[in-house]
Amino acid sequence: MSFSYVSHLYCPQCRETYHVEGKNQLCVCGSPLLVAYKMDELKENVKPESLVGRQADLWRYHELLPVQNAENVVTLGEGFTPLFQMKKTGQNMNIPNLYMKDEGLIPTGSFKSRGAAVGVSKAKEVGVEELAMPTNGNAGAAWSLYCAQAGVTATIVMPVDAPEITRKECTAAGASLCLVNGLIGDAGKIVAQAVKDYQLFDASTLKEPYRIEGKKTMGLEIAEQFNWEVPDVILYPTGGGVGLIGIYKALQELQELGWIAEDKMPRLVAVQAEGCAPIVKAWEEGKTSAEPWQNAETVAFGINVAKALGDFLILDAIRQTKGCAISVSDETLLEELNTVASADGAFVCPEGAAAFAAARKLREANWIKEDDHVVVLNTGAGIKYPNTVEVDAPILEKDAKIVRDA
Amino acid sequence: MSFSYVSHLYCPQCRETYHVEGKNQLCVCGSPLLVAYKMDELKENVKPESLVGRQADLWRYHELLPVQNAENVVTLGEGFTPLFQMKKTGQNMNIPNLYMKDEGLIPTGSFKSRGAAVGVSKAKEVGVEELAMPTNGNAGAAWSLYCAQAGVTATIVMPVDAPEITRKECTAAGASLCLVNGLIGDAGKIVAQAVKDYQLFDASTLKEPYRIEGKKTMGLEIAEQFNWEVPDVILYPTGGGVGLIGIYKALQELQELGWIAEDKMPRLVAVQAEGCAPIVKAWEEGKTSAEPWQNAETVAFGINVAKALGDFLILDAIRQTKGCAISVSDETLLEELNTVASADGAFVCPEGAAAFAAARKLREANWIKEDDHVVVLNTGAGIKYPNTVEVDAPILEKDAKIVRDA
C-alpha cells in the first residue's frame, strides 16, 4: 500500500515522458506536463469505501496525488469544501437542483490553496528551495503561505490592480513581493526573466505539473459528495483554467478506476467575463487554441487572463464533455452576486458570481435543462473583494433611536 | 430516533425552566438561558460511531442541537473546521504539541457562523420573522447572511470602527444596517430600544439561548478530532465569551454521554487584550462577575467587549476547569500574527493571534507544560483584517527586471 500511486509525467502534445523525481517544468516541446498514476494497482488496492472516516481534507485522496512521502505534505487543512443546494437561487433561475461548491471555505479564502498545497508539497519533496510566480493575487497569496510552512523562498509578482488583501498575505508570509504596472502577462515576463537570472523554480500556471493535481481534487470531491454519481453540468470561472482541466482529469481517472460510471461525464462549462473572453471566442470559432485577448479588463480579477498556457486543454475538455464556453458582463455578474447573497446568504466572489450568472443565461437558452443537476464552483470568498458591494448605512450617535419608515 | 434530543431550557441562576417552542429570550430573573437535552435517551441511541461517514459540518451533531425538524436547518456548510499541528510555531514556543483549530474556514470567515447557523435555524423554527442585534461586525455579518437564507428580517447595529468588510456582508445580505459612533455596548442600547419599539426578537449575545449551542460544536469537534480524547489546554480569545461557555458545555455533555473520559477536562483559558480585559481583572481579583471596562480599545476588535452578559459563566468555566484568564498587548499580538504566518503559513485574525501570544506567555510562565497538548482557537480569517499587515513592495514597470541585493 503506497501513500501515492504516482507513476510518471507525460506530455499531452508530444507524448514524451519524464520521471517524477526531478524539478520538472514544461516539456521540451513547450507543452505543460501531466501526471500519470499506476491505475491498475490503485484500482486493486483502494476503493471508495477506503475513504470513509478519513480526514475531511484533500489529502484523503493521497493515493491519487503526486506526493510520495507523507512527511513532505504541507497543509493548512485545505479541501473537502462544502457542496450544498442553493434553493432560492435555483428556484429563481428555474434550476431546482442548483448546487454550489464553496471554495471560499479553504485557507487563504481561495481555491488556489489546493494547487499551492499539492504544488508546494511536491516542490519540497523534489528539493526546490526557491520559486517564483506571476499571479492575479490569490495564487500568489496561497503559494506564499504554503511556501512559508515548507521553508521554500517565494518571489511573487502581481498586477498593482490585484485585490489588495492578497499582497498583505504575501507580506505576512514573508515572501518577496513585487507589484507591476500591467497585467498578469507582464508579471509573467518579469518572472521568466528572474527565473533565468537567479535559477529559480518557475511555479507559473502549468509550468510545473503539480498545481493541476491539487485542483483536480475539486472533481474528486464533487464525485464523492454526490456519492459517486456525478452532476449533469459543472460551471467553472475560467482564467488560466487549471481547475477545469483538473476536474476533467479527475473525472477521467475516476472512470478509469470504476468509481463513477463510464457513460456519464458532466458537461463542463468555462465561464469568462465579457471583458476578457479568449476561450469563449476560440470556442465559438471552433478553434483548438485561443488568441491573446486585447485590453483585458473585468471586475472578476481572478479570470482576467488574456492568454492561458493550457488553452488547448481547456477547449479539449469542453469539447469532449459536450460542454461550452460563455461570457457574462461585469454588470450582470455584480447583480448576480447581490442576488445570491440576499437569496441564499452566500457572499460569493465575483468569479463565482460570473458562474451563477452563466447558469442563469444557459438555463434561459435551455442549454441547461430543468431537471439537470448543476454545480457552480465559487472559487473564493466574497470577503476578499470588498469593492463588489456599496454600503449606504446611517451613522447614529450613541443616544439615537432607529426610526423606521411608516 | 429523533433528529434532536432537546428537552427544555433552564436558568443557570434561578433554575426556572422553559419550553423550547417559544420565542425565548432571557429568564425572568435576567439571566441567560441554557439548553438541556434528554441525555439518557441520547446516550442509548447515539454513539460516537454513529457519526462516522456523516457530513463534515456541524449538523453531524444534530441530536445534540436544538433544531427539531431538519427542514428548518439553515446552512452554508459550516463547521468541522480543520484542527492541525502548528509545528514551527510550536517549536518556537517550546510547545511541541501546539494545534490550531482554524475557524477562518467557515462561511463569512468567522466562527460567528456557528452561532448564526443554529440560532437562525431555531429562530425560523419557532416562527421569528424579524430580529435585531448589536455586533462588533462578524456576528452581524453572519446573522445577516443566514437570516437572508431563512427569510428572516435582520436589523444590525455595529460600531463605525468595526471591520469594514462586515458592513459589506450585511448589505449584500439585504439586512437593515446602522453604524454607531461608539462601542458595542452603545449599539446594544440602540438595539434594546428598537426591540421594544418594534417588537423585534432580540438576538443579542446570550439574550437568546441558541447561539451558544452553535458555538458549542467547536468543543464537540475538538473532542472528535482528537478521537474522543481531549487536549490539556484550550485557549480562546474572549469578548462575549459565548464560545468558551459553549466549549465547556459541550465537554460536560460529552462526559455525561460517556464519549470522553470523566476524569480529564481541558484547562480553558480566556484570552483578552490589555486594552479591554474585564474578565482577566475579575479573575485576578477572585470575583464571580466582571465590572465594565472603561475606555476599551484594541486592534483585536472582536474581543473589544467592555461588559459580557455571560461573565459569570465564563469565570465559572475557567475556575471549574482549573484554567485561567490572561491578557496580551496589541503590539505583542500583532507581532505574533506575523510570526505565525511566516512560520506555519497561517494568516490568522488578531483575536487568534492574541491566543497564540497568550500560549507563548503561559509557556514561559510554565503554566503550560512542555508535554501539554494545546489547542488555540483562531476565531476568524486573517483576510477580514487587512490593517494588521503593512506592505512595502516595489512597483515595477512592465519592462523592468527584479534586481536582488548582492
CATH topology of domain B83-109+212-386: Rossmann fold (3.40.50)
Contact A324, A356 (CB under 8 A): no
Which of B106, B190, B347 is opposite residue A402, by nearest beta carbon?
B190
The alpha carbon of A347 is separated from its chain's Cα centroid by a whole number of angstroms, namely 18
The alpha carbon of A177 is separated from its chain's Cα centroid by a whole number of angstroms, namely 22
Q: Residue A108: which residues within 8 A CB-CB, separation 6 or more? A: A116, A138, A141, A142, A145, A169, B347, B383
Instruction: For residues B156-173, give the mean pLDDT.
Output: 97
Instruction: Please check whether residue A190 touches B, CB under 8 A.
Output: yes
DSSP structure string for A11-35: -TTT--EE-TTS---S-TTSPPPEE
Rg of the Cα atoms in chain B: 21
Q: How confident is the model at residue B405 (pLDDT cuts 50, 70, 90)?
A: confident
Which of B148, B347, B396 is opposite residue A341, by nearest beta carbon?
B148
What 8-state DSSP symbol labels residue A208? S
C-beta atoms of B398 and A83 within 8 A: no
Instruction: For residues B310-320, give the mean pLDDT.
Output: 97
DSSP structure string for A59-112: GGGGGGSS--SGGG---SS-----EEE-HHHHHHHT-TTEEEEETTSSGGGBTH
CA quadruple A165, A166, A171, A173: dihedral, nearest 10? 120
Q: Residue B72: which residues within 8 A CB-CB, separation 6 or more? A: B121, B122, B124, B125
Which of A106, A160, A404 is opposite residue B105, by nearest beta carbon?
A106
The residue type found at A136 is N
Strand partners for B99: B85, B375
Q: According to the model, what pLDDT value does residue B188 have?
A: 97
Give the orientation angle of helix A242-257 with respect to helix A311-320, to 10 degrees. 50
- B336-350 pLDDT, tens digit each: 999 999 999 999 999
Contact A167, B393 (CB under 8 A): yes
Q: Which residue of B has its CA nearest to A57?
A: B82
What 8-state DSSP symbol labels residue B370? T
Chain A residues whose CB is inside 8 A of the B338 CB are 172
Instruction: For residues B307-312, give the mean pLDDT.
Output: 94
Instruction: Please check whether residue B248 touches A, CB under 8 A.
Output: no
- In a 13 Å sphere around the CA of A265, the CA atoms on its Cβ side amount to 21
Q: How confident is the model at residue A406 (pLDDT cuts 50, 70, 90)?
A: low
- A247-279 pLDDT, tens digit each: 999 999 999 999 999 999 999 999 999 999 999
Residues B50-53: contacts with CB under 8 Å, at least 24 apart: B51/B224, B52/A52, B52/A53, B53/A52, B53/A53
Instruction: Please check whether residue A48 touches B, CB under 8 A.
Output: no
Average model confidence (pLDDT) for chain B?
97
Strand partners for A233: A267, A374
Count of beta carbons in the 10 Å neighbourhood of residue B50: 12
Q: Please give the backbone phi and psi of residue A247, each rounded to the nearest 5 degrees, phi first.
A: -60, -40
Instruction: For residues A201-208, give the mean pLDDT.
Output: 96
Residues A145, A76: Cα–Cα separation, whole Å: 9
The residue type found at B126 is V
Residues A124-129: contacts with CB under 8 Å, at least 24 apart: A124/A72, A124/A74, A124/A150, A124/A151, A124/A152, A125/A67, A125/A68, A125/A69, A125/A72, A126/A20, A126/A21, A126/A22, A126/A23, A126/A24, A127/A23, A128/A23, A128/A152, A128/A201, A129/A153
Domain-by-domain residue ranges, chain B? 83-109+212-386
Contact A137, A160 (CB under 8 A): no
Which secondary structure element, helix H or strand E, spans residue B98, and what is its range? strand B98-102
Instruction: For residues A79-101, give the mean pLDDT.
Output: 98
- B18-68 pLDDT, tens digit each: 999 999 999 999 999 999 999 999 999 999 999 998 999 999 999 999 999
- B274-284 pLDDT, tens digit each: 999 999 999 99
Q: How confident is the model at residue A405 (pLDDT cuts 50, 70, 90)?
A: confident
Q: According to the model, what pLDDT value does residue A328 have?
A: 98
Residues B177, B158: Cα–Cα separation, whole Å: 8
Q: According to the model, what pLDDT value does residue B1 have?
A: 77
Instruction: For residues A42-61, give the mean pLDDT.
Output: 96
CATH, domain range A83-109+212-385:
3.40.50.1100
The answer on pLDDT for B161 being more than 80 is yes
Q: According to the model, what pLDDT value does residue A404 have?
A: 84
Residues A236, A243: Cα–Cα separation, whole Å: 8
DSSP structure string for B116-165: HHHHHHHHHHTT--EEEEE-SSHHHHHHHHHHHHHT-EEEEEEETTS-HH
Which of A170, A180, A381 is opposite residue B109, by nearest beta carbon?
A381
Average model confidence (pLDDT) for chain A?
97
> Which grid cell is A390?
456599496
Q: What is the count of residue pairs from A and B with beta carbons less than 8 Å apart?
A: 253
- A212-253 pLDDT, tens digit each: 999 999 999 999 999 999 999 999 999 999 999 999 999 999
Q: How confident is the model at residue A197 (pLDDT cuts 50, 70, 90)?
A: very high
Q: According to the model, what pLDDT value does residue B406 have?
A: 61
C-beta atoms of B106 and A105 within 8 A: yes
- B352-379 pLDDT, tens digit each: 999 999 999 999 999 999 999 999 999 9
Q: Residue B69: which residues within 8 A CB-CB, separation 6 or more? A: B3, B125
- A151-188 pLDDT, tens digit each: 999 999 999 999 999 999 999 999 999 999 999 999 99
